[in-house]
C-alpha cells in the first residue's frame, strides 16, 4: 500500500511540474526608481501597486511581484487576453498626499523572424505622475537584435527576458 501511495504522489508531482511549465503567459520586468533616482523595492511602504485590465475579463491573470534580488519587479500577464494591453497602477502616498502613476504594458507579441510572446525587460522606470506607456521595437530587425538577459530566477525557472530598455527613453 505504501508503494502505491508513493507512486501516486510521484505522478501528481510530475503532472504539476509539467502543468506549471506550460502555463500560458509572459512577464515584463523593470526597476522602479523614485523621483530622486532611489530604488523603490518591496520594503518601501510609501508605494503600493495594483494590476488593472482595460477590458472586462475575469479570466486574465495579472500579478506584480518582486524578484529575489529585491530590486526588479515582475509584472505577469497570463492565461487569457495576452494580445491586449494591461496596466499597473502605482500609488505614492506621503503625509496623506497621493500621487498616481499608471504604466501601460502592451502585448508582448513580438516581431522579428519568429513571432511569439516574449518576456521583456523595460529597464529603469522613474516614478512620475500620469501615464507611462512601455514602448516596443518597431521593426523586425530591432526585435531580432534584442539582447537576452537572465532575470528573476526562482526555484522552478530561469527566465529569459529580452531587453527593450533603450526604447523607453
Q: Which three cell numbers stand for residue 24?
A: 500560458
Total domains, the chain: 1
Q: Which three cell numbers stand for residue 125?
A: 522606470
Q: Count the neighbouring beta carbons within 10 Å of the beta carbon of residue 49.
A: 19
| Residue 39, Cβ density class (10 Å: 0-12 exposed, 13-18 middle, ≥19 buried) | middle
Are residues 87 and 133 in contact, defined by beta-carbon separation less than 8 angstroms?
A: no
- Domain holding 146, by residue range, is 26-168
Q: What is the band of 4 on the pLDDT scale with cuts at 50, 70, 90? A: low
31 inside domain = yes
11 inside domain = no
- Alpha helix locations (H) across the chain? 2-21, 140-144
Give the DSSP H or E segment for 86: strand 86-94
Q: Using one digit for the tens of pLDDT, what is the confidence trace for 48-102?
A: 999 887 666 565 788 899 998 899 999 998 877 788 888 999 999 999 999 999 9
Q: Which residue has the higher pLDDT, 9 or 30?
A: 30
122 inside domain = yes
Q: Using one digit for the tens of pLDDT, what is the confidence trace for 14-28?
A: 444 333 333 578 899
Find the mean pLDDT for residues 150-159: 83
Q: Which residue has the higher pLDDT, 39 or 6?
A: 39
99 inside domain = yes
* Alpha carbon 65 to its chain's center: 8
3-class state of residue 96 by DSSP: coil
4 inside domain = no
Pairing of strands 73-78, 120-126: unpaired
Q: Using one digit for the tens of pLDDT, what is the confidence trace for 117-145?
A: 899 999 999 999 999 999 999 999 999 99
Q: Which three cell numbers stand for residue 163?
A: 531587453
C-alpha torsion 71→47→29→57, nearest 10: 150
Q: Which three cell numbers stand for residue 92?
A: 505614492
What is the pTM (predicted TM-score) of this model?
0.81
The predicted pLDDT at position 57 comes to: 59
Residues in the chain: 169
3-class state of residue 93 by DSSP: strand
18 inside domain = no
107 inside domain = yes
Residue (of 83, 80, 65) closest to 28 by Cα position: 65
8 inside domain = no
CA 52, 60, 109, 165 torsion-angle sign: positive
Amino acid at each position: 500500500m505504501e508503494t502505491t501511495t508513493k507512486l501516486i504522489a510521484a505522478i501528481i508531482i510530475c503532472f504539476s511540474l509539467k502543468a506549471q511549465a506550460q502555463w500560458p503567459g509572459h512577464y515584463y520586468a523593470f526597476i522602479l526608481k523614485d523621483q530622486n533616482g532611489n530604488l523603490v523595492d518591496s520594503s518601501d511602504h510609501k508605494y503600493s501597486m495594483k494590476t488593472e485590465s482595460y477590458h472586462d475579463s475575469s479570466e486574465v491573470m495579472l500579478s506584480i511581484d518582486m524578484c529575489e534580488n529585491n530590486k526588479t519587479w515582475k509584472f505577469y500577464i497570463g492565461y487569457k487576453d495576452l494580445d491586449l494591453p494591461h496596466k499597473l497602477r502605482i500609488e505614492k502616498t506621503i503625509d496623506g498626499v497621493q500621487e498616481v502613476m499608471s504604466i501601460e504594458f502592451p502585448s508582448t507579441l513580438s516581431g522579428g523572424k519568429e513571432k511569439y510572446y516574449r518576456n521583456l525587460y523595460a529597464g529603469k522606470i522613474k516614478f512620475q505622475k500620469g501615464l507611462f506607456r512601455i514602448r516596443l521595437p518597431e521593426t523586425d530587425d530591432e526585435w531580432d537584435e534584442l539582447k537576452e538577459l537572465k532575470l528573476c530566477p526562482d526555484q522552478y525557472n530561469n527566465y529569459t527576458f529580452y531587453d527593450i530598455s533603450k526604447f523607453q527613453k
